[in-house]
Chain A
Amino acid sequence: MSDANDADRRKFLIDGIRVAGVVSAGVLGGFLAGRRGQAGETRWQIDPDKCVGCGNCATHCVLDESAVKCVQCFDMCGFCNRCTGYYTLDGLDSRDTAAEDLLCPTEAIIRTFVEGKAGQNFYEYTIDTNACIGCAMCVKGCALMNGSLYLQVMHDRCVNCNECAIAIACPSDAFVNPTSEKPYRLKRVAEGVIRQKAGKKDTAAQLLIDQVQSSE
């Protein structure tokens, strides 16, 4: 008799705890999901204004070939002949486009002649994304001048880890979480220029603006 009572009491207790557990889990889930509101999923990204170009992006990504790559913002580029993002400082004056004077370790920067004007030659620098390893050497070099080269997490490669391994290693706390609808960031300077371009019915600029999250 007392055994049966015991078992009953035990069952009641367990049932009670289970109901409480389910209710509290449900409430917690509903509360968190509700508070989240309409904000979308987040992606990892680099705030280029904070990035110091330390090179950790090339070595700390969980992927063997880092998801971080260099981006050229042509709207900030001076198209300089003496490009400190392309040449090493020692090679700046010799201007030989061979390995001994170039900064990029994988020859991922492609230099093409555009126009000679007022005695100056202008060159366009584009990034070969397949070769770029995100080492930030050019980013650091370009920062001496206009700073049009900067790093971004490429979302065709990024697996969006819960905790980004590069973010842990980042010395300047430059990793941010924009929403997945607008997973890219521009430099503040570039943003103004490109927004202007987008306003002038430039579809490429509009596309880029659609992909970037405003820095403010």
Chain B
Amino acid sequence: MNSLITFRSILHTAIVAGVFSVLVLILLLVDGASRLNKVPMEASQFVELRKQFVEEPNNVELRQQIQVMDLALRQEYFREQHFTVIGSYLLIGGIVLTLIFGKWATILRRKLPKPKPKLPGPDSDELLSHTGLRAVVLLIVALIGTSWAMNATYKSSLPTSIEELASLNATSNQTLEDAKIEEALALPDLPTPEEWQHSWPNFRGPQGTGISMHASIPTTWDGSSGDGILWKAPVPLPGVNSPIVWRDHVFLSGATDKERAVFCFDALTGDIQWRADIKPDPLVVVAEVKTTDDTGYAAPTMATDGRLVFAMFGDGLLVAVDFQGKERWRQSLGIPQRNSYGHASSLVTHQGAVIVQYDHGTPDDELSKLMSFDGATGNPNWETVRSTPASWSSPIVTTSNESAQIITCCDPWVIAYSPKDGKEIWRVNCLERAEVGPSPVYSDDVVYVCNDTAVLAAIRCDGTGDVTDTHVVWTVEDGLPDTCSPLVSKDFVMTVASYGALFCFDKKDGGDPIWEEDLGADFISSPSLVGDHVYLFGRDGSASIYMPTADECQRVGEAELGEDCVTCPAFQDGRIIIRGVEHLFCIGKTESESS
């Protein structure tokens, strides 16, 4: 036994352990140097393959290649980690053995240090005094040199003091303010009431009543022959929304399941001034949007606040586009959840705020909401949950009262809200179990609502809370429309019944119809009033112009558009702008005719 533990064997063990440690160390170093990138997928070859695969997604061979490589890379990655851990332990073990056996060997053959004879001459202290001084001086030089090098390497790009920074900020604040001013210039003040009244900024005109304050509107035209048609322009994308007019611009939107766009036409020539393509929200699966042919993907009529135009699409996307066709902001309100026909409520603005009636739930699931967004930025102002099922009626904003009200129709309520904060003001239960389509109309502090299967009701707007029992002036059950909104003139309330008849009621008392006129056509478009003429556009494009009186209904004109029409006309001075199924028409007297 003792013969085994000799100096030589111990020394050899130490040497073997030492060589082993060195070998392990070398292996570790080699492995470390040839290591993959730390994250396996960042291996350049793999990245290349993936890129290639994106371009050729159907390349089966490539796919397999990627899968094989992925597996190999991952295995390699973990193998390397494992290798390092094992290697480290082996290395430590080897070094420990080397140390132990080396120490043991030296103990067995301990050699005493052999002190060298002391030479005469200066001792180490003397040397320290002299050479040490030089060395320290050298160190001082080295330190100062390092400082100089550091100063030379690191240069700062920042100003040297807070004061300088402040002056820098002042200039940048200046430019910031300039930018703000620029932005303010881009969004001018809201238009004056006169300008508002003279244009057609949203569904059914400035008040949502279908009444134009312009005159000299033609009463005859023929779309197929072109008589009385100033211009006719094809609309590139389908949509059942009505055109709106601001100054010389006509805006409308169109959409299919893939595309959606806002169009701006020149009101004078009919040329498309611009087309703003709106990209769908990437996170909305368009295939899941339920619409019908009656509504499509662009049913809501656009609105403008005189600064930007706003459009809403069937997938719940609300966008703002400026008058140059640049998208300013967007809000994705989510796909309509329980809306059997597709979302159709039009937009309306009030003092720079866009108001969206988004009824698409059940009375209990809190999905239906009335929302208000800041027109300039798209930031939400407020939203109010409505316990109502889906509706297709558009909200109106009444302004002649001291305090403005947003009036909305749904099943079964007519509800008025404050446009400031979305708080409910009053509500009336009169549209029970109706699929609410017609929009309310406001006239002289009374709002008129109607719907097929419900009633036509006149409601005073000065109440608060549930005013079903106190503020309903009158109700009638004749001539109820399912789509067309009512028309309220100075003395009459007119409705277009779903079976194609025009009914006229006394505005003050309701009661039995004063007269009714069978129109012999199908109507989606709501009636409009210019002066004392009522304009009606049938679904087949036929138009009738009537003059209602207290006794009878005089037909004063008849015309043909030449194609189907489900939208409401917009009126300009002397002209009608109406959207057919395929074209946008401008009806008016040509220069020669008028002169």
Contacts and interface: CB of A to CB of B under 8 A. Distances in A.
Interface string B40-60: 111000000010011001000
B51 to A, nearest CB: 9
A149 interface: no
A100 B39 contact: no
Contacts of B131: none
Interface stretch (B65-73, B188-196, B342-350, B485-493): B65-73
A99 B66 contact: yes
B22 interface: no
A59 B42 CA distance: 12
A133 B57 contact: no
B74 A106 contact: yes
Contacts of A33: none
B341 to A, nearest CB: 19
B321 to A, nearest CB: 26
A196 B66 CA distance: 44
A124 interface: no
A18 to B, nearest CB: 26
Given A58-B38, A59-B38, A64 B81 contact: yes
Contacts of B74: 105-107
B382 interface: no
A26 B54 CA distance: 68
B39 A59 contact: yes
Interface range, B side = 20 to 34
A83 interface: no
B63 A98 contact: yes
B85 interface: yes
A119 B53 CA distance: 30
A65 B54 CA distance: 31
B84 interface: yes
A142 interface: no
Contacts of B329: none
B207 to A, nearest CB: 41
Contacts of A105: 39-42, 73-74, 77
B57 A58 contact: no
A174 to B, nearest CB: 19
A90 B63 CA distance: 13
Contacts of B84: 64
Contacts of A88: 50
Contacts of B81: 64-65
Contacts of A65: 81
B76 to A, nearest CB: 11
Contact of B39 (A58, A107, A145): A58
Interface in A64-117: 64-65, 88, 90, 94, 98-100, 105-107
Given A64-B85, A106-B77, A100 B53 contact: yes
Contacts of B78: 106
Contacts of A100: 50, 53, 63, 66-67, 70
Contacts of B66: 99-100
A58 B288 CA distance: 40
Nearest to B39: A135
A90 to B, nearest CB: 5
Nearest to B71: A99
Contacts of B73: 105
A145 B42 CA distance: 24
Contacts of B39: 55, 58-59, 105, 133, 135, 137
A94 B57 contact: yes
Interface of A: 55, 58-59, 64-65, 88, 90, 94, 98-100, 105-107, 119, 133, 135, 137, 145
21 contacts: A58-B39, A64-B81, A90-B54, A94-B57, A98-B63, A98-B67, A99-B67, A99-B71, A100-B63, A100-B66, A100-B70, A105-B39, A105-B40, A105-B41, A105-B73, A105-B74, A105-B77, A106-B40, A106-B74, A119-B288, A133-B77
Given A64-B84, A135-B39, 5 more contacts: A98-B63, A105-B40, A105-B41, A106-B74, A133-B39
